[in-house]
A and B are shown apart, each in its own frame.
Chain A
Amino acid sequence: MATSTGTAESEALTADGMGAGEGVRRRDFIEIAAVSAAGVGGAAILIPLISQMAPSRDVLAESSTELDISAIEPGQAIKAVFRKQPLFVRNLTPQEMEQANAVPVSSLRDPESLADRTKEGHTNILVTMGVCTHLGCVPLGAGEGENRGEFGGYFCPCHGSSYDTAGRIRKGPAPANLVVPDYQFTTDTTIVIG
């Protein structure tokens, strides 16, 4: 159809504008062209209508968080906010790190070592999202005196998932370890998440 030219077509037209005999008629061409243009135009309108529901620029602008971790003593944890979600930063004690490294990685539900989940040279700093991988509750254990569960890490009170000192799932319904977000050490005591 795209190759048929105006002259070729108009020769095939009779006085009433209708095609005579075989071949593509002018009216078919106009109809298909008009409906296609309207269809493509209509579909293009869906782009803004769908895209407007995605995170807006002010939400995306909050997508990185800078954190000073110098005040966290070994054994302590803090809660911060990253993308409107809780973030746990924990300074592990040597015993806790030993406890985490003592577990054979292959025996875990979601096999990762402590080294996999921390940055080189800062294996004592465990940065995880405070969002249970089961259904999104906030686990306990970051605050002073909270229940850390039977593996000494975090314990989710909603459905009883227990995480160990490396934030790895050890017991309960959660399918995966607490998520380690993308982050960088910008200095020895400052991290930027996101």
Chain B
Amino acid sequence: MSFPWARVYEPKLPLMRYLDEKLPLPRFVYNAVGAGYPVPRNLNYFWNFGVLAGFALVLQIVTGVVLAMHYAANASVAFNSVEHIMRDVNWGWALRYAHANGASFFFVVIYLHIFRGLFYSSYKAPREMIWLIGVVIFLLLMATAFMGYVLPWGQMSFWGAQVITGLFSAIPLVGEPLQVWLLGGFAPDNAALNRFFSLHYLLPFVIVGCVILHIWALHIPGSSNPTGVEVKSESDTVPFHPYYTAKDGFGLGVFLIIYCVITFFQPNALGHPDNYIPANPLSTPAHIVPEWYFWPFYAILRAFTADFILPAKLWGVLAMFSAILCWFFLPWLDKSPVRSGHYRPLFRKFFLFGLLPAMALLFYCGGAPAEEPFVMLSQLATAYYFLHFLVILPIVSSIERPEPLPYSITEAVLGEDKQAVLGENARPPL
């Protein structure tokens, strides 16, 4: 669906007309990311991160498929095959560093994309389904990234596999058999490595499928915007192409510059030196932490240190999973009819001075050693995290008095809607 003023695809070349009759793929692309998709005219750069995440997904699939041509998923040779990629394969070092850092940058843009959604309440009706699919994509992404990190079969890979599958052993009754089943053994070994490789190759394509659903669901109500006011007329929108292809292109350029600087000059800055030691089932690294993008959730896991009705271990695991699962309920926890944080003074304070510092603290503590004061700090931050979503958000949304909203997007941009001629700027100058 689209707005009634959306431009209609009109193939001019006979070949394109023929194709349009038989398989209207160009029409589909035109309506999805071309001039046929009207987008609010006031999107800021926070709206770049969806396209950047899509780019990162393609980047990971392309480099990953190529790496799989050289990698051997067998516990006896996996580590050496990664070194073979680094030393022998043409451009192998570049491809592996591009893939490893690509994962980090994928999470950077995904986190920014999610926090854009949290600040501008992009999860609210009529866009709940987009948000729900997005949370599913995030969960799939975490699973994929975790299994990918196991593949080099270094010390961090091995102990990461041990610890993360150990989370499932916290589940009462079925926990330990479940962990053994997941690993296909009593400790990570060939069986685990092989299935992780298989799933690491499969899940990205499941993510692609979910991304298609995500975008499909997005195109029904159309993109949200920084005012949170819905599109009213043609003067509120511009065609996606060329306006947002150009804006996203610029954002992509900035993204690629930062990505290339890290990939080519500091390729190991985001990894752990311990993972260049081959996996040793008899010795755990002194300071074992996951990759940085799991730190907030790892901090929540470690924040539970005392048994209370349930064992501390189970509390930690439940809290870690709940930290993401509670996002599924956000569209119904935040009942305010106003979307954008710009018009919600109380919400904005809690977001900027509550949620963001708590997340920053969790990020920091998740990477710090499991000792004081980091344990206490992560406990405080964890408490705030859950309070924010489960208590503060519902209360704020019912007591808050929002600031007046602009009448329309056009008014927000131009100051007045009356001056706007319908259709102005809706077509690119030729």
Interface residue ranges, A against B (CB under 8 Å): 18, 34, 38, 47-49, 51-54, 56-59
Contact = CB atoms under 8 A, between A and B. Distances in A.
B249 A58 contact: no
Nearest to B252: A38
Interface string B69-111: 1100000000000001001111110110000000000000000
**10 closest Cβ contacts across the A-B interface?**
A48-B91, A56-B88, A57-B88, A58-B88, A51-B90, A56-B89, A52-B90, A52-B91, A51-B91, A48-B94
Nearest to A34: B249
Nearest to B94: A48
B62 interface: yes
22 contacts: A38-B249, A47-B91, A48-B90, A48-B91, A48-B94, A48-B95, A49-B66, A49-B95, A51-B91, A52-B66, A52-B69, A52-B89, A52-B90, A52-B92, A52-B95, A56-B84, A56-B88, A56-B92, A57-B87, A57-B88, A57-B90, A58-B88
B172 interface: no
A56 B70 CA distance: 10
Contacts of B70: 52, 56
Contacts of A57: 87-90
Interface residues of B, number: 15
Report which residue of B66, B90, B94 has the largest number of chain A beta carbons within 10 angstroms of its beta carbon.
B90
B429 interface: yes
B100 to A, nearest CB: 15
A47 B95 CA distance: 11
Report which residue of B62, B69, B89, B429 has the largest number of chain A beta carbons within 10 angstroms of its beta carbon.
B89
Contacts, number: 36
Interface of B: 62, 66, 69-70, 84, 87-92, 94-95, 249, 429
A47 B94 CA distance: 11
Report which residue of A38, A47, A52, A53 has the largest number of chain B beta carbons within 10 angstroms of its beta carbon.
A52
Contacts of A48: 90-91, 94-95
B62 A49 contact: yes
B90 A54 contact: yes
A18 to B, nearest CB: 6
Contact of A58 (B66, B84, B91): B84
Nearest to B92: A52
B243 to A, nearest CB: 13
A22 B270 CA distance: 52
Contacts of B62: 49
A22 B66 CA distance: 48
A99 B333 CA distance: 95
Nearest to A30: B246
A169 B188 CA distance: 56
A5 to B, nearest CB: 23
A34 B250 CA distance: 9
A117 B309 CA distance: 87
A57 B91 CA distance: 11
Contacts of A34: 249
Contacts of A59: 88
A193 B95 CA distance: 33
Contacts of B89: 52, 56-57
Contacts of B429: 18
Contacts of A53: 69
A18 B90 CA distance: 47
A109 to B, nearest CB: 38
A54 B89 CA distance: 8
Contacts of A49: 62, 66, 95
A165 B87 CA distance: 44
Contacts of B92: 52, 56
Contacts of A18: 429
B173 to A, nearest CB: 48
Contacts of A56: 70, 84, 88-90, 92
